[in-house]
């Protein structure tokens, strides 16, 4: 008996792959426009190096986490490699697009800034390797007519960006039986229990007041915090009581 | 399903992977589609070894091909073929499933699926003589990732040690040492159970 992939899925996947290659190679063009990122994206690279990751507003978590963004993809992704400061032209935005879902990887060590002052820092080759394996993911809101975004970095600092036009809506946090809010950090702030990925890769929550200080909002903070001593927090189910793993803060 | 002409891999006159790959670099999406046509079945069969369900295996295939394009600067061909790279990547994705595949989760959710077909994982495991669902996966998970990738390529997919070493960018002696270690560890992991010969056997001398 032979095993075959679902036909409908196979056809759709093939179409997606073909579109991706066509857009990824021909969609590159550069122009000078400045854009604003909608969210604060901290030092996900530094945090992930500890074996886990704060879901934050990065969209890295399962879409069902309260406070995360529900995203509907409207176009094929565009992949672009850059060197230093570049403005990425994304093509005409589809009707209904209000955001761009992006994945960002460092290709060399460096500090990569976005227009709102957030960014990603890769301080070592190990960070680069980690960033390539687990790119940082964000959702960037779009202004009407916007069709580009800018990455700022020093010459020679290389990066890769994958961007997709999306419709994004942020779901509300939920409240557990103890009256604690839980979900992803997002533009509305931080819930009592913050969604994280534990070192055992379970998805759960840590107490926000146990996280070591506020999340970094600038690359320099990210680098500084990346050199802090590790701190281990217990990861719980959404009830805030049932332990399911550990989360390491810092390196 | 209607199959494209390049579904039949190998015969003379069929464009080599390396040639298609060069066309992809110029934005030729159909060339990538032909690579997909050519290798998807083999990648799917391997994915079934690592997956818990048909959909899981399909998602693995999709992710492997999406990664092929995303990581195109780092893809290493073996004898002009991308298949070893795809199989090694599928192994990686299958053993590090959740986070690695989350990258494409929303994209995969958009792809339609229709009809009902028998569960791929159980069928494939049976076809490969691997017995209980999850046993191989658990065994491979006990290994270092590179060792698991190596073992898959050599023991399950029939590549020579030299070819697998080239794909995984390691020396042949290192590959042989890793293969020996991987087989020993897998043997310890699965002790008391019937281990397929090609997984537990002696090192391939090719």
Q: What is the pLDDT of residue A188?
A: 76
**Same domain as B106, residue B38:** yes
Calculate the alpha carbon distances from A190 to A71, A238, B86 in Å: 20, 15, 40
Residue B124 near chain A (CB below 8 Å): yes
**Same domain as B91, residue B23:** yes
Residue A1 lies in a domain: no
Looking at chain B from residue 16 to 55, which residues have their Cβ under 8 Å from any Cβ of chain A? 24-33, 36-37, 40-41, 44-45, 48, 54
The domain boundary residue, chosen from B110, B143, B178: B110
Strands A193-197 and A181-183: parallel
Residue A25 lies in a domain: yes
Residue B126 lies in a domain: no
Q: What is the pLDDT of residue B86?
A: 94
Residue B6 lies in a domain: no
Q: How far apart are CA A112 and CA A44, in angstroms?
A: 13
What percent of chain A lies above the pLDDT cut of 90? Answer: 12
**Same domain as B174, residue B96:** no
- Per-residue pLDDT reduced to its tens digit, B47-67: 888 887 788 888 889 999 988
- Per-residue pLDDT reduced to its tens digit, A186-224: 767 788 898 877 776 677 888 888 765 544 455 454 444
CB atoms under 10 Å from CB of A135, counted, come to 23
**Same domain as B161, residue B89:** no
Provide the domain limits for residue B168.
Answer: 133-201
Contact across the interface for B117 and A71, Cβ inside 8 Å: no
The alpha carbons of chain A give a radius of gyration, in whole angstroms, of: 19
Distance from CA of A32 to the nearest CA of B (A): 24
Residue of B nearest to A61 (CA): B102
- Per-residue pLDDT reduced to its tens digit, A37-75: 222 222 222 222 222 334 333 334 444 678 876 777 787
Number of structural domains (chain B) is 2
Calculate the alpha carbon distances from B181 to A110, B88, B150, B172 in Å: 38, 18, 11, 14
Contact across the interface for B30 and A7, Cβ inside 8 Å: no
Q: How far apart are CA A66 and CA A73, in angstroms?
A: 19
**Same domain as B25, residue B106:** yes
**Same domain as B106, residue B25:** yes
The domain that contains B147 carries what CATH number?
Answer: 1.10.10.10
3-state secondary structure B29-90: HHHHHHHHHHHHHHHHHHHHHHCCCHHHHHHHHHHHHHHHHHCHHHCCCECCECHHHHHHHH
Calculate the alpha carbon distances from A183 to A12, A118, A136, B9 in Å: 33, 21, 19, 49
Residue B128 lies in a domain: no
Calculate the alpha carbon distances from B127 to A94, A155, B132, B153 in Å: 46, 54, 12, 18
3-state secondary structure chain A: CCCCCCHHHHHHHHHHHHHHHHHHHHCCCECCCCCCCCCCCCCHHHHHCCCCEECCCCCCCCCCCCCCEEEEECCCCEEEEEECCEEEECCCCCCCCCEEEEEEEECCCEEEECCCCCEEEECCHHHHHHHHHCCEEEEEECCCCCCEEEEECCCCCEEEEEEEEEEEEECCCEECCCCCEEECCECCECCCEEEEECCCCCEEEEEHHHCCCCCCCCHHHHHHHHCCCCEEEEEECCCCCCEEEEEEECC
**Same domain as B88, residue B28:** yes
Q: How far apart are CA A143 and CA A90, in angstroms?
A: 13
The domain that contains B80 carries what CATH number?
Answer: 1.10.1740.10
**Same domain as B95, residue B32:** yes
For residue A211, the Cα-to-chain-centroid distance in whole angstroms is 19
Residue A2 lies in a domain: no
Q: Model's pTM, two decimal places? A: 0.46
Residue A158 lies in a domain: yes
Residue A156 lies in a domain: yes
Residues of B in contact with A26 (CB under 8 A): 27
Residues of B in contact with A138 (CB under 8 A): none
- Per-residue pLDDT reduced to its tens digit, B62-75: 999 988 988 887 78
**Same domain as B90, residue B29:** yes
Contact across the interface for B111 and A9, Cβ inside 8 Å: yes
- Per-residue pLDDT reduced to its tens digit, A227-245: 444 467 888 999 999 998 8
Contact across the interface for A19 and B65, Cβ inside 8 Å: no
Backbone phi and psi for residue A99, each to the nearest 5 degrees, phi listed first? -160, 165
Tally A–B CB contacts below 8 A. 121
Number of structural domains (chain A) is 1
**Same domain as B101, residue B66:** yes
Distance from CA of A115 to the nearest CA of B (A): 23
**Do the Cβ atoms of B48 and B57 come closer than 8 Å?**
yes
Provide the domain limits for residue A96.
Answer: 7-249
Residue B158 lies in a domain: yes
Residue B78 lies in a domain: yes
The tokens for A119 are 């960014």
Contact across the interface for A21 and B103, Cβ inside 8 Å: no
Q: Which of B94, B106, B125 to mutate to test the interface with A (most CBs of A within 10 A)?
A: B106
Instruction: Choose the weakest-confidence range: A59-68, A80-89, B157-166.
Output: A59-68
Q: Does pLDDT of B187 surpass 70?
A: yes
The tokens for A188 are 């509305």
Looking at chain B from residue 166 to 205, which residues have their Cβ under 8 Å from any Cβ of chain A? none
Contact across the interface for A20 and B66, Cβ inside 8 Å: yes
**What ipTM was predicted for this assembly?**
0.76
Q: How far apart are CA A52 and CA A197, in angstroms?
A: 5
Residue B121 lies in a domain: no
Q: How far apart are CA A180 and CA A61, in angstroms?
A: 20
Q: How far apart are CA B94 and CA B171, in angstroms?
A: 25
Residue B42 lies in a domain: yes
Q: How far apart are CA A65 and CA A195, in angstroms?
A: 8
The domain boundary residue, chosen from B65, B95, B110: B110
């Amino acid at each position: 008996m032979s095993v075959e992939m679902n036909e409908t899925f196979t056809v759709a996947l093939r179409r997606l792959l073909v579109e991706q290659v066509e857009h990824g190679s021909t969609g590159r063009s550069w122009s000078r426009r400045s854009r604003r990122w909608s969210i604060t994206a901290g030092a996900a690279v530094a945090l992930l190096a500890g074996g886990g990751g704060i879901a934050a507003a990065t969209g890295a978590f399962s879409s069902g986490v309260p406070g995360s963004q529900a995203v509907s993809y409207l176009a094929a992704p565009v992949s672009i490699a850059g060197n230093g400061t570049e403005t990425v032209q994304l093509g005409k935005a589809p009707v209904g697009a209000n955001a761009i879902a992006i994945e960002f990887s460092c290709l060399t060590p460096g500090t990569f800034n976005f227009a709102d002052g957030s960014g990603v820092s890769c301080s070592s080759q190990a960070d680069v390797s980690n960033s390539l394996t687990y790119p940082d993911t964000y959702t960037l809101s779009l202004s009407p007519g916007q069709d580009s975004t800018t990455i700022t970095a020093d010459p020679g600092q290389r990066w890769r960006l994958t961007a997709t036009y999306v419709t994004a809506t942020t779901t509300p946090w939920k409240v557990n039986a103890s009256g604690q809010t839980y979900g992803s950090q997002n533009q509305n702030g931080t819930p009592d229990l913050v969604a994280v990925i534990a070192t055992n890769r379970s998805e759960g929550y840590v107490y926000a007041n146990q996280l070591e200080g506020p999340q970094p909002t600038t690359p320099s903070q990210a680098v500084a915090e990346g050199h802090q001593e590790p701190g281990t927090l217990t990861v719980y189910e959404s009830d805030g009581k049932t332990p399911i793993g550990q989360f390491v803060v810092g390196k | 399903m209607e199959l494209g002409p390049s579904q039949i891999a190998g015969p003379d006159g069929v464009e080599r992977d390396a040639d298609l790959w060069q066309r992809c670099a110029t934005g030729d999406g159909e060339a990538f589609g032909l690579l997909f046509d050519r290798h998807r079945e083999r990648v799917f069969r391997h994915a079934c070894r690592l997956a818990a369900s048909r959909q899981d295996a399909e998602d693995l295939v999709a992710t492997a091909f999406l990664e092929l394009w995303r990581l195109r600067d780092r893809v290493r061909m073996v004898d002009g073929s991308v298949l070893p790279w795809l199989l090694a990547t599928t192994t990686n994705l299958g053993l590090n499933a959740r986070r690695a595949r989350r990258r494409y989760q929303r994209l995969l959710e958009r792809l339609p699926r229709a009809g009902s077909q028998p569960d791929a994982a159980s069928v494939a495991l049976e076809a490969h003589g691997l017995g209980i669902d999850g046993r191989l996966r658990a065994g491979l998970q006990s290994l270092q990732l590179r060792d698991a990738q190596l073992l898959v390529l050599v023991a399950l997919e029939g590549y020579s040690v030299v070819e697998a070493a080239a794909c995984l960018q390691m020396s042949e002696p290192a590959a042989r040492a890793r293969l020996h270690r991987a087989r020993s560890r897998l043997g310890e992991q699965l002790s008391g159970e019937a281990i397929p010969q090609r997984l537990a056997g002696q090192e391939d001398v090719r």
